[in-house]
């Protein structure tokens, strides 16, 4: 069985927790896109971890964790994350890195940071992890593959040629010192040597796993609305977080993906710039932000307070559609227990008309949310594992949303810990 776990919304939906839960019975967990620019929070018997690059199966020694060719591999971030796990003496990481993955370098982060500064109030809200310059280089064919780190001359040659244009920007646009190919070659060649034990042709490993009918989890980062083609462009990321891309970014046949689990929260949250119709503000938002997630709604990568709002059925239905979701996991259901009434955004109003489709960004920026008010359940459901034991108002909330988003909700997460989950078939 091959399952993709992907976000239905703006990211931070709780994919990491679900992946950690499902990884227990999986043979392989694969990251297929993005880099260290987002984080999955995982809380298990070893403690609390914010994973950025390592696949969420890393805590299970029987799971082979693969960093696929679609990932932006930042060796600095990779080793600091790996060291933080190794020094706690938890598990022996079972890991493979694609020889075709490309390397996110220091200068990608620098260029990302300088560009956001230059853009000022027009900035994109980047996490400044170098993602946009990295993918620009990849598609301009001047990126460096992991396999190219192993050959010093080749590495030096590629860096020298790629730096010609970058140094024009460095000197004349950003007024900074030029980048030095010799220095970078030494640094990244040394990284290549450190990475070497894990570097493999991961497509061959996956081909073998498919032939042997292994259970594979494909772990998405961010969410559908951040997809460059289908999301809230230009407030999107630079690689596709869609299940459709998972086959490409991992190195698997598209037909092999049998289940697509779209993850959504029982309310909404978004970090970074963008359009968020059901966003709330003031005290109401402060309360939800404080109660959300495992310790408030603050970005796992940046610590930035996340914008929060009510569940958006229009955006989530669209997110599920573009993900090709076969089912949905709803997380953070426990968070809403304090509310007497719970608004759900069931439609948008655009130029005086009610719409239930998710429009392109310029129209989306003009919509007003249309709410339906649901009665709260006022009972602490944290840790509940049996669907039938949830209060009736809570089940009604789930079942009405299920109808609106036109997908079965098969997992309900009732707390941040691994065992706080209801399986509902
Ligand atoms: P991801 O990137 O999709 O994995 O999401 P994040 O880890 O960035 O954010 C999800 C937040 O919700 C984290 O703080 C999780 O610990 C937390 N979380 C996940 N599921 C639940 C849940 O069911 N209840 C509560 N209270 N927190 C949860």
Confidence of residue 127 (pLDDT cuts 50, 70, 90): confident
50 and 75 in a single domain? The answer is yes
CATH of the domain at 406: 3.90.170.10
Residue where one domain finishes, among candidates 172, 195, 218: 195
Question: Which range (72-86, 87-101, 234-248, 368-382) has the least confidence?
Answer: 87-101
pLDDT at res. 416 = 93
pLDDT at res. 84 = 84
CATH of the domain at 174: 1.10.300.10
pLDDT at res. 99 = 98
For 346-372, what is the mean pLDDT? 98
274 and 220 in a single domain? The answer is no
92: pLDDT strictly greater than 90: no
Which residue's CA is minimally distant from atom 8 of ligand 1?
A: 12
CATH of the domain at 18: 3.40.440.10
For residue 350, list its beta bridge partners. 353
379 and 289 in a single domain? The answer is yes
125: pLDDT strictly greater than 80: no
Question: Which range (83-87, 129-133, 364-368) has the least confidence?
Answer: 83-87
Confidence of residue 88 (pLDDT cuts 50, 70, 90): confident
Confidence of residue 300 (pLDDT cuts 50, 70, 90): low
45 and 182 in a single domain? The answer is no
Distance CA 175, CA 189 (A): 28
Cα 331 to middle of ligand 1, angstroms: 7
191 and 128 in a single domain? The answer is yes
SS3 294: coil
Residue 235: which residues within 8 A CB-CB, separation 6 or more? 124, 125, 226, 272, 273, 274, 275, 361
Residue where one domain finishes, among candidates 209, 240, 260: 260
45 and 77 in a single domain? The answer is yes
Pocket test for ligand 1, best of 55, 219, 293, 423 (most atoms within 8 A of CB): 293
Of 20, 40, 74, 227, which one is the catalytic site residue? 40
Name the token pair of 392: 């009736």
For 390-412, what is the mean pLDDT? 98
In this structure, are residues 38 and 10 in contact, taking their beta carbons and an 8 Å threshold?
Answer: no
Ligand 1 site: residues with CB under 6 angstroms?
7, 12-17, 38-41, 43, 293-294, 300, 331-332, 334-335, 413-416
User: 319-356, pLDDT tens digit by residue?
Assistant: 999 999 999 999 999 999 999 999 999 999 999 999 99
pLDDT at res. 40 = 75
Confidence of residue 105 (pLDDT cuts 50, 70, 90): very high
* Phi, psi of 100, rounded to the nearest 5 degrees: -100, -5
In this structure, are residues 372 and 344 in contact, taking their beta carbons and an 8 Å threshold?
Answer: yes
Q: Is 172 among the residues known to form the active site?
A: no
For 54-76, what is the mean pLDDT? 93
pLDDT at res. 54 = 92
Residues spanned by the domain of 227: 2-98+199-260
For 91-100, what is the mean pLDDT? 90
8 and 27 in a single domain? The answer is yes
Pairing type for strands 40-44 and 47-51 reads antiparallel
Cα 378 to middle of ligand 1, angstroms: 21
Residue where one domain finishes, among candidates 165, 195, 225: 195
pLDDT at res. 93 = 83
187 and 217 in a single domain? The answer is no
44: pLDDT strictly greater than 90: no
pLDDT at res. 170 = 96
User: 301-319, pLDDT tens digit by residue?
Assistant: 667 789 999 999 999 999 9
Domain count within the chain: 3
CB atoms under 10 Å from CB of 271, counted, come to 23
pLDDT at res. 49 = 80
Mean pLDDT score of the chain, rounded to an integer?
94
* Alpha carbon of residue 80 to chain centroid: 19
Cα 418 to middle of ligand 1, angstroms: 11
292 and 403 in a single domain? The answer is yes
Cα 12 to middle of ligand 1, angstroms: 7
How many helices (H) does the chain have, and how many strands (E)?
12, 20
357 and 388 in a single domain? The answer is yes
| Residue 12 alpha carbon, nearest atom of ligand 1 | 5
User: 171-192, pLDDT tens digit by residue?
Assistant: 999 999 999 999 999 999 999 9
The pTM score is: 0.94
Pocket test for ligand 1, best of 8, 14, 52, 303 (most atoms within 8 A of CB): 14
For 26-50, what is the mean pLDDT? 85
Instruction: Please state, for a pLDDT cut of 70, what percent of the chain lies above it.
Output: 99
Q: Is 337 among the residues known to form the active site?
A: no
For 352-379, what is the mean pLDDT? 98
User: 181-223, pLDDT tens digit by residue?
Assistant: 999 999 999 999 999 999 999 999 999 999 999 999 999 999 9
For 2-14, what is the mean pLDDT? 95
| Residue 16 alpha carbon, nearest atom of ligand 1 | 4
pLDDT at res. 301 = 63
Distance CA 269, CA 284 (A): 14
**CA distances from residue 324 to 8, 81, 192 in whole angstroms, order as listed:** 10, 32, 37
pLDDT at res. 376 = 98
419 and 282 in a single domain? The answer is yes
Question: Which range (123-132, 273-282, 292-301, 347-356) has the least confidence?
Answer: 292-301
Distance CA 34, CA 241 (A): 8
* Phi, psi of 65, rounded to the nearest 5 degrees: -100, 125
18 and 71 in a single domain? The answer is yes
């Amino acid at each position: 069985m091959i399952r993709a776990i992907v976000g239905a919304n703006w990211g931070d939906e709780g994919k990491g927790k679900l992946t950690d839960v499902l990884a227990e019975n999986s043979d392989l967990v694969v990251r297929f896109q993005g880099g260290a620019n987002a984080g999955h929070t995982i809380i298990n018997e070893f403690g609390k971890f914010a994973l950025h690059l390592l696949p969420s199966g890393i805590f299970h020694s029987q799971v082979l964790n693969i960093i696929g060719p679609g990932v932006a591999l930042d060796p600095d971030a990779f080793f600091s994350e790996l060291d933080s796990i190794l020094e706690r003496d938890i598990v022996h990481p079972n890991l493979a890195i694609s020889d075709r993955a490309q390397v996110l370098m220091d200068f990608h982060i620098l260029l990302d940071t300088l560009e956001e500064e230059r853009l000022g109030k027009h900035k994109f809200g980047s996490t400044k992890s170098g993602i946009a310059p990295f993918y620009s280089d990849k598609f301009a064919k001047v990126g460096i593959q992991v396999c190219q780190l192993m050959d010093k001359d080749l590495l030096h040659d590629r860096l020298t040629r790629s730096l010609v244009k970058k140094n024009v920007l460095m000197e004349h646009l950003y007024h900074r010192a030029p980048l030095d190919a010799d220095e970078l070659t030494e640094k990244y060649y040394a990284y290549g040597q450190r990475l070497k034990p894990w570097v493999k042709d991961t497509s061959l490993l996956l081909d073998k796993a498919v032939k042997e009918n292994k259970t594979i989890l494909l772990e998405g980062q961010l969410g559908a609305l951040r997809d460059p083609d289908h999301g809230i462009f230009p407030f999107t990321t630079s690689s596709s977080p869609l299940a459709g891309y998972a086959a490409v970014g991992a190195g698997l046949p598209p037909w092999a993906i049998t289940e697509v689990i779209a993850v959504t929260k029982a309310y909404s949250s978004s970090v970074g710039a963008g359009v968020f119709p059901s966003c709330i503000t003031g005290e109401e938002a402060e309360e939800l932000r404080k109660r959300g997630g495992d310790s408030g709604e603050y970005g796992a990568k940046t610590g930035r307070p996340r914008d929060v709002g009510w569940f958006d059925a229009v955006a989530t239905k669209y997110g599920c559609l573009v993900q090709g979701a076969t089912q949905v996991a709803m997380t953070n259901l426990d968070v809403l227990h304090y509310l007497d009434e719970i608004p759900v955004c069931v439609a948008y109003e655009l130029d005086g008309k009610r719409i239930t489709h998710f429009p392109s960004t310029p129209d989306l920026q003009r919509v007003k949310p249309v709410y339906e008010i649901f009665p709260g359940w006022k009972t602490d459901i944290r840790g509940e594992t049996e669907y039938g034991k949830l209060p009736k108002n809570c089940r009604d909330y789930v079942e009405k949303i299920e109808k609106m988003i036109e997908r079965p909700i098969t997992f309900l997460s009732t707390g941040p810990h691994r065992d706080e989950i209801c399986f509902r078939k």
